Amino acid sequence: MPARRTSAAAFLVLAVAGAALVGCSKKDDGKASADGAAGPVQVTATDSACGLSKTSFPAGHVELAVANKGSKVTEVYVYSDGDKIVTERENIGPGTKVTINAEIKAGTYEVACKPGMTGDGIRQKITVTAGASASAKADDRLTQAVADYRKYAQEQADATVPVVEQFAAAVTAGDVEKAKSLFAASRVGWERTEPVAESFGDIDPKTDTREDALEEGQAWTGWHRIEKSLWVDGRIGDEEKTLAAQLVADLKDWQKRVPEAEITPTGMANGAKELLDEVSKNKITGEEDRYSHTDLSDFAANVEGARQAYELLKPVASENEPELSRTLDAEFEKITELLGKYRGADGTYTSYDKVTEDERKAFSDAVNSLGEPLSKLAAAVVAK
Amino acid sequence: MDAENEQQAAPAEGGGQAQRAGLSRRAVIGWAGAGVALGAAAVGTVAAATMSDGDGAAAPQTSPEVPFYGEHQSGISTPVQDRLHFAAFDVITDDRDALVKMLKEWTKAAASITGGREVGGGAVGVVPESPPDDTGEALGLPASRLTLTIGFGRTLFEKDGQDRFGLRAKLPEALVELPKFKGDRLEAARSGGDLCVQACADDPQVAVHAIRNLARIGMGVVNVRWSQLGFGKTSSTTPDSQTPRNLMGFKDGTHNIAGTDADSLAQHVWVAPGDGADWMTGGSYLVARRIRMTIETWDRSSLKEQEDTFGRTKIEGAPYGKQKERDAPDLSAMPADSHVRLAHPDSNGGLMILRRGYSFTDGTDGLGRLDAGLFFLAYQRDTRKAFVPLQTKLAANDRLNEYITHVGSAHFACPPGVRKPGEWWGQTLFG
């Protein structure tokens, strides 16, 4: 249904068609009136206020129509308990409007507007009621997929912590070589389920920040800080030992919090896509593990985690979009096969500084070939 | 903002500056008027486009939309637009069906974008959870005379001795591997390609949007091998308009094939039945050369040296010994190694190519100089009888070689046009 770019009439047609589309999907659910009454939540952000058109609405798809009427660039967050990010949008310029779409489950939340993009923001409590839309139309298979994915995320965290403890023990013992040999392995479970860890907001910056991503005044902690000491400096001091202990503590916090993570089917699908985005942006270029060159290990873990999310969503996705599902099967297979060529008998991967430009291009092609169809997975699991 | 108000306002300002401002404002109004007309006739234009014979040459310069469907691909004899985004692609699959499917999707998208419409489900998207089909940066912009022209490289037919897609038998003899010309310093990363798409438009954003969306649709099937942006068209296929200048400051392409000159097009540009591969009938062969100009040394050369190099005067563009740009040249009056003398049809048995090049500057060369030059595009009926002999001669003798280096090269077979909806790019080759 292409719309003519320059014709006002065509925009009208598009709008009508769009309405018809929404109308259809709602009629199918038999809840046209309930949803129709819902509509988007208007968020009016100014330099001193964060106004909401309503503070109570039913669970399911929630549309936040944000208008920044202030003079500063703002951000809007939806937090659940403990400031876990449910959804967020940054860089909303003065005078601009954006729409944030999220799937929100029943519960109490806080909406925060952050004029100037700093601080805790101006907060408003909201209540999302269990009701009509989401729960009623939830597909049992998707509910199962979410439960299974949470189980997977928990398993990964449970398996990771002991390896990180070994890694930390090697650091504490001042054993550079042993610490180096455990570095890549200590990251696998984290990399497989990174979107879950990132959803907590506060853990990722402490554990997985690269030097160039530091904000002014932010202390550099976590894996990559220790990586630099091991590979560049080749020595371990008291500071590194403290950092290793901190890394263990932070990851235990992650392990403990997986049960509270907000996981939705579309969140899983978009999380899978984000893992590929991570690969595309940081691993292909060799920026992620720039000192240790263990990028391919992270790369493989990202792909494995994305594939796990996809496999769990596949019963629904393959029914809604069979062709997309076939493409994803084929592309996951191809990229897995390609990565396999770089995996040694001991499970470690070729050092990325030994991977030629041509080989990197082949990886890039494989990532693009998978990432593009993967970006369509979320739509394929949206309840119809 | 109608024309009448504009005319009333102009004299009141007076002076040279106001006159210049008046000119450009009128140009803007011309565009706006076209846009309004387009909006009003939205439905009709689409219908008309599907009925057109594809002869874009007759379209006036301000026409916002060039018909996509026709006997020949648009973007060849079409009046040259202001901007270029050219991309060469490598096919990364060995699945012929996947390639054909992509070509069909490309065709559909190309018909939409050249008509000023969005790709697929549009930039708004179908569901908010999914990325929109169209990347959106051309929203609100007119079609801007966008044309998209596809070509197939030799390596699509055969690569490293492999018949990749069962096309080897269809490789046209005219699609030769270009010989190494004297002075060539070709970079692999700027040369070759299994496929190419030439996007020309009056707005660079519209051209880039087109290539970007095709590249996106092609993920998993093709990747971008190299791409080139171009500005300031250096050749005109509309003899009535002012001949554009290249970065050396000279008028370039004075004696080009006019898009309206059906006889010359038939003789020199379009592949005719019996020329060779049947699937190419109505198509044309494209040679793309990235020609780096050492503009720094050029700028230090005397006006006389510059004019001797071309064999024309710099300001008027008149051939040596004549007054006006379009005066018939007396080749014997030009230096023997001058560019125009060597390249002129009269020195080459009447040989002509249709040029459609653009200037470029791509950052620096790492030595503190601009990486600037001419992205040369030439269409012809048979490259073996046109570009190859011409360039062999120029590479050996042209005084211009002192200031230029060919650093990129590619050769493509551009199939005939997509005549109506339902047909697709490459159908005559794959179908």
Contact residues on chain A for B143, CB-CB shorter than 8 A: 5-6
Strand partners, A108: A127
- Amino acid occupying residue B36: V
- Whether residue B218 lies within 8 A of chain A, CB to CB, comes out as no
Give this prediction's pTM: 0.74
In B, which residues are within 8 Å of A269 by CB distance? 129
Say if B121 is an interface residue toward chain A (CB within 8 Å).
yes
Nearest residue to A262 (alpha-carbon basis) of A140, A55, A79, A110: A79
**CATH superfamily of the A28-136 domain:** Cupredoxins -  blue copper proteins (2.60.40.420)
Tokens of A105: 């489950």
Token pair 């000023």 in the structure block, residue: B116
pLDDT in tens, B66-114: 999 999 999 999 999 999 999 999 999 999 999 999 999 999 999 999 9
Distances (CA, A) of A326 to A337, A362, A367, B106, B214: 17, 21, 16, 21, 22
The count of CB pairs under 8 A between chains A and B is 83
* Cβ within 8 Å, pair A5-B223: no
Residue B47 contacts A where some CB pair is shorter than 8 Å = no
Residues of B in contact with A134 (CB under 8 A): none
Put simply, the answer to whether A368 touches B220 (Cβ < 8 Å) is yes
Would you call B141 and A5 a contact, using CB atoms and an 8 Å cutoff? Answer: yes
Question: Does B230 have pLDDT greater than 50?
Answer: yes
Average pLDDT over residues B352-370: 93
Tell me: the pLDDT tens digits for A318-358? 999 999 999 999 999 999 999 999 999 999 999 999 999 99
Does the beta-carbon distance from B129 to A266 stay under 8 Å?
yes
User: Other C-beta atoms within 10 Å of A381: how many?
Assistant: 27
pLDDT one-digit tens code per residue, B36-65: 333 333 333 333 333 333 333 433 444 589
pLDDT in tens, B380-431: 999 999 999 999 999 999 999 999 999 999 999 999 999 999 999 999 999 8
What are phi and psi for residue B332, nearest 5 degrees? -70, -20
Q: What's the CA gap between B105 and B90, in Å, rounded?
A: 17
The residues with which B285 forms a beta bridge, in sequence order, are: B380, B413
- Nearest-angstrom CA–CA distance, A227 and A219: 15
> What integer pLDDT is reported at residue B236 of this predicted model?
75
Dihedrals phi, psi of B13, to nearest 5 degrees:
-80, -40
Q: What are the structural domain ranges in chain A?
A: 28-136, 140-380
Tokens linked to A273: 């896509």
Cα distances (angstroms) measured from residue B197 to each of B122, B152, B263, B265, B290: 22, 9, 26, 21, 15
Determine the pLDDT at residue A131. 61
DSSP-assigned letter for residue A48: S
Cα angle B249, B252, B254; round to 5: 135
Give CATH for domain A140-380: 1.20.1420.20
| Subunit contact B124:A266, Cβ cutoff 8 A | no
Q: Which residues pair with A78 in a beta bridge?
A: A87, A111
How far apart CA A154 and CA A257 sit, in angstroms, is 9
Q: Does the beta-carbon distance from B115 to A63 stay under 8 Å?
A: no
Find chain B residues with C-beta within 8 A of A368's C-beta: 219-220, 223
**H or E element at residue B387:** helix B387-397
Chain B residue closest in CA terms to A376 = B130
Measured in degrees and rounded to the nearest 5, phi and psi for residue A350 equal -55, 135
Distance between CA atoms of residues B24 and B31, nearest Å: 11
SS3 content of chain B, % helix, strand, coil (to 5): 35, 20, 45
- B220 and A327 within 8 Å at the Cβ level: the answer is yes
Q: Write the pLDDT tens digit of every residue in B193-225.
A: 999 999 999 999 999 999 999 999 999 999 999
Residue of chain A whose alpha carbon sits nearest to that of B112: A2
Residues of A in CB contact (< 8 Å) with B are 1-10, 14, 18, 21, 63, 99, 101, 266, 269-270, 327, 331, 361, 364-365, 368-373, 375-376, 378-379, 382
pLDDT of the residue at A286: 87
Minimal-distance CA residue of chain A relative to B216: A372
Tens digits of residue pLDDT in B257-266:
988 899 999 9
Nearest C-alpha in B relative to A2: B118
Q: Which residues of A touch B34 (CB under 8 A)?
A: none
CB A200 within 8 A of CB A86: no
Q: Give the one of A3, A369, A382 whose C-beta lies nearest to B220's C-beta.
A: A369
CB contacts under 8 A, B 275-304 vs A, are: none
- Looking at every residue in chain B, the average pLDDT score rounds to 85
Residue contact A375–B120, C-beta within 8 A:
no
CB contact under 8 A, A365 and B35: no
State which residues of chain A have pLDDT below 70: 1-38, 131-138, 383-384
Residue spans per domain, chain B: 150-190+224-430
